[in-house]
Amino acid sequence: MGEAISDVAINLIAVFIVFLGRLLGFDLYARSVRLYRRTRVGLRRLTGGTTIVLYTDCDDELHTSRTLANHLETTVRADGRRVKVKVVRDGVDLGRCSFSPKAVLAILVLLTDVTQLDTDKRDRVRLQRRLINYVHNGGCLVLGHDVIYRRSRNEHLQRLAGCALDNFSRTRERVRYVRVDDGPRATTHNTLRTRAPETFSLTDNEVIVGEWNDDVEFLYVWDRDENTPLVTRRTVGKGTVFWVNSADSSGKGAPRSLARPEPAFVALLNLLVTTTR
């Protein structure tokens, strides 16, 4: 009886400590998870490895995210890098990861259906600012499709990428990507342009458009309109932020380019995260 009472007391004290911590602004669980992940990432770096963080909003119990992660990890390793692709469940889980450019090769945030990074505005802004600091300090950030669409409410990331997308064009045909080789929008990163294939096609379902800042480079444009970029690049501080048009949710499950995943899409992600770092 005494032991049972003691266990209950211990549990109550633990609950009280967590409650008090949250009341004071400290999320003990989140902090412990973050410490654990930072330790693992740090140890991987000490052994010559690195980490890619991947978040997609595909609602299929992480099946699409893990499948894409496995293909990307295999492709990046084939390029000679010791890498682990870490899948996170949502924006809150993303916020528990290490954002150290020295240990994290790239962070990929691929939103297919105007999913908010966090329903709480303050936490959403805090996460965006951490991502921005990651880029400023030398990180590679890849934003997919709806991340900078106006309805996703990621105003800070919109300013970081250089555009608030506000319109779209539906298409049942595969979207053809055409490399930009010259002109004021062509990338100044010669190695990136040289390694990039001239053209490829993806099942994007739609192309979203907006007014881009003048300093944003277009790596690929839509074959139907040379003024509509499909992959953009912008240098911010010591790092780089990319935006990729693929892939929009069709309403029938995860986008094909992510779910299969399509080889050209995996190759594109590999190109972006390995060429600039």
CATH topology of domain 49-275: Rossmann fold (3.40.50)
The span from the CA of 242 to the CA of 43, in Å, is 28
Query: What mean pLDDT is reported for the chain?
Result: 88
Whether the per-residue pLDDT at 137 is higher than 70: the answer is yes
Q: How do residues 155-213 score in pLDDT, each as one tens digit?
A: 999 999 999 999 999 998 999 999 999 999 999 999 999 999 999 999 998 999 999 99
Supply φ then ψ for residue 100, to 5 degrees. Answer: -90, 120
Q: What residue spans in the chain does CATH classification 3.40.50.880 cover?
A: 49-275
- Per residue in 104-114, pLDDT (tens digit) is 999 999 999 88
3-state secondary structure string across the chain: CHHHHHHHHHHHHHHHHHHHHHHCCCCHHHHHHHHHHHHHHHHHHHCCCEEEEEEECCCCCCHHHHHHHHHHHHHHHHCCCCEEEEECCCHHHHCCCCCCCCCEEEEEEEECCCCCCCCCHHHHHHHHHHHHHHHHCCCEEEEEEHHHEHHHCCHHHHHHHCCCECEEEECCCCEEEEECCCCCCCCCCHHHHHHCCCEEEECCCEEEECCCCCCCEEEEEECCEEEEEEEEEEEECCEEEEEECCCCCCCCCCCHHHHCCCHHHHHHHHHHHHHCC
> Residue 59 has what pLDDT?
84
Q: What is the pLDDT of residue 7?
A: 46
Higher pLDDT, 2 or 39: 39
Average pLDDT over residues 132-156: 95
What per-residue confidence (pLDDT) applies to 79? Answer: 87
Residue 252's pLDDT band, with cuts at 50, 70 and 90, is confident
Which pLDDT tens digit goes with each residue over 40-99? 555 555 555 899 999 999 988 999 999 999 999 999 999 889 999 999 999 999 999 999
Determine the pLDDT at residue 128: 97
The pLDDT value given to residue 182: 95
pLDDT in the model for residue 48 = 59
State the pLDDT at residue 6.
47
Q: Pick the residue with more confidence: 8 or 100? A: 100
Q: What is the reported pLDDT for 10?
A: 43
What is the percentage of the chain residues whose pLDDT exceeds 70?
83
pTM for this predicted structure: 0.85
